[in-house]
Amino acid sequence: MKPYDIIIVGAGGAGMYAAMEALQTNPGLNIAVVSKVYPTRSHTSAAQGGVNAALANRHKDDTVELHIFDTIKGSDYLADQDAATLLCEMAPYVVREMENLGAPFSRLEDGTIAQRPFGGAQKYRCCYCADRTGHTLLQTLFEQCMRKGVKFFSEYYLLSIEHDGKTAQGIVVMNMQTGKIEAMPAKTVIIATGGYAKMYWQKSSNAAGSTGDGIAAALRAGLALEDMEFVQFHPTGLRKSGLLISEGARGEGGYLVNNKGERFMSRYAPEKMELGPRDLVSRSIEIEINEGRGFDSDAGQYMHLDLRHLGGALIKERLPQIRQLAIDFEGVDPIDEPIPIRPTAHYSMGGIDADINGATAIPGIYAAGECSCISVHGANRLGGNSLLEVLVFGKQAGHHAAVTASSLNPGAISTASVEKIQKEIEGYSHHDRTERYSDLREDLGKTLGANAGIYRTRKKLEKGVADIMEIKERFKKVHVKDASAVFNTNLFQVFELKNMIHLAETVARGALAREESRGSHSREDFPTRDDKKWHKHSIFHMNEAGEVIVSDKPVTMGKHELQERTY
């Protein structure tokens, strides 16, 4: 097979923006987008609240510089300042480009793009399409990719990223419809497979497929991962399911209320209140619950998100999906009753170590979106900066891969690589294997939630590492009962479990090593930020024995000096 110029793994916002930008850079390129789901089912569609850009439509004094500062401050000063600067400088351009491509943003009375306040921002900066922004942007990008003739390989599962140590060679995938393993050669590969927060089991806002496939494949391919210990818990997940209730609900004026009827955020963020950064708001909710000011239920303790004072008309116009989710999954209409919420595992700040062009250490391999760590979010992402990252760095990776592709001439993917994967898969059905996928999956989720959640201690993290290593060993005996070739969901679940186990180890080991509290990483035994010892990025590699090795690298600084983060 002749190599593709670019293979993009992942058909969410970053992957499709990369495809669109690559074709704009060079219309003659042969590009394929590979995804385990159909593009319009990608997790970008679940992003509700909006995308940040200093358009100054609501606050005329908003500037790119303020957006840069808010992003760096929100990151607890762990973001690389060159990356944060590029993110914010590109924001007005990519939002207007999406508008010109047909994205139907909500509007102000003067016809300009509507902007709402979001956590950690000084100004009304978050551009939105009611509360379905990710869904709207994804549909717009899919239409453009179809118009430009992008070739999609839907329902293909990524098994490995191939390179010879000097340049990318392509990927190995399984055709989920046939069970056939296929090598797909490429001059350049862009990984855009999203995050891994679903490994936290039930208390996660993520779709079932957010299992870190691309990040884990990169780790096994010898690429570095960065800052994996930083997992963001969104303050407002539905009590029972963990499904996301957008920050837009608080941006529109929603209150967080405890069982005493108090807007308790006045104790933790007296200036920003409910619009403090997500890490702070999530910790505040946990404190309120732990100190006995939560509501009780069979599904666990929770808080109230009260929207009733906003009125039915505003809720129906600007928060229609939020209302429907509350009705469908909690039996509560927010027009009449408060929504029961609790923090939910939501976003991974860590990912594949990449530069501001999305390039990794191997020429021809790029990463973009939530699977990458460029690092624009540092220790904590601000709401509205995720969809922005998808657009900006999807664009960056697509452009640079298009420029690079013509200069690369990769060797063929080794048949030994394909045979090794085939042998591993055949082994899953061997009769002496006794471990059940469901048992391992539940045990992994439970130990992460208990030991590597919002609050962490050495004792908990040591228990978490030990549990994960035991699960890793048990996985060697996992059994795939389904012998069929066509849509063998049991097999795909095992693939995903393997990826989650590898990434869980990096999260737990990184959290154990980092003896400070910064952003989303909160150590009860090390409650303060330690800039002398820990103002640095964590770096993770996997050695030939399959062991995760932790090292570090410096943070790229700029004009913003370290200072205390208060709201």
Catalytic residues, by residue number, are 278
CA distance linking residue 137 with residue 101, whole number of Å: 10
The amino acid at 488 = N
Structure tokens at 325: 């989710």
Per DSSP, the three-state class of 547 is coil
CA angle in degrees (0–180, nearest 5) for 208-220-522: 60
Structure tokens at 287: 């404190």
Structure tokens at 126: 């978050």
Check residue 80 and give left, alpha or beta (phi > 0: left; psi -120 to 50: alpha): beta
CA distance linking residue 335 with residue 337, whole number of Å: 6
Structure tokens at 93: 């351009």
421: nearest Cα among 173, 223, 153: 173
Going from the C-alpha of 156 to that of each of 34, 368, 399, 406, 502, the distances in angstroms are 6, 19, 24, 26, 21
8-state DSSP, 478: B
8-state DSSP, 264: G
Residue with tokens 């609900």: 249
Residue 270: exposed, middle, or buried by beta-carbon count in 10 A (0-12, 13-18, 19+)?
exposed
Going from the C-alpha of 399 to that of each of 2, 96, 357, the distances in angstroms are 22, 18, 9
Check residue 489 and give left, alpha or beta (phi > 0: left; psi -120 to 50: alpha): alpha
The amino acid at 423 = K
At 63, phi and psi to the nearest 5?
A: -140, 160
With beta carbons less than 8 A apart as the criterion, state whether 336 and 357 touch. Answer: no
What per-residue string of b and e applies to 185-213 under the rule 16 or more CB within 10 Å gives b? bbbbbbbbbbbbbbbbbebbbbbebbbbb
CA angle in degrees (0–180, nearest 5) for 288-519-223: 135
Residue 551 bridge partners (DSSP):
539
565: nearest Cα among 21, 24, 77: 77
- Cβ-based neighbours of 297, under 8 Å, separated by 6 or more: 239, 340
Overall residue count recorded for the chain in this entry: 567
192: nearest Cα among 229, 158, 144, 230: 158
With beta carbons less than 8 A apart as the criterion, state whether 48 and 136 touch. Answer: no
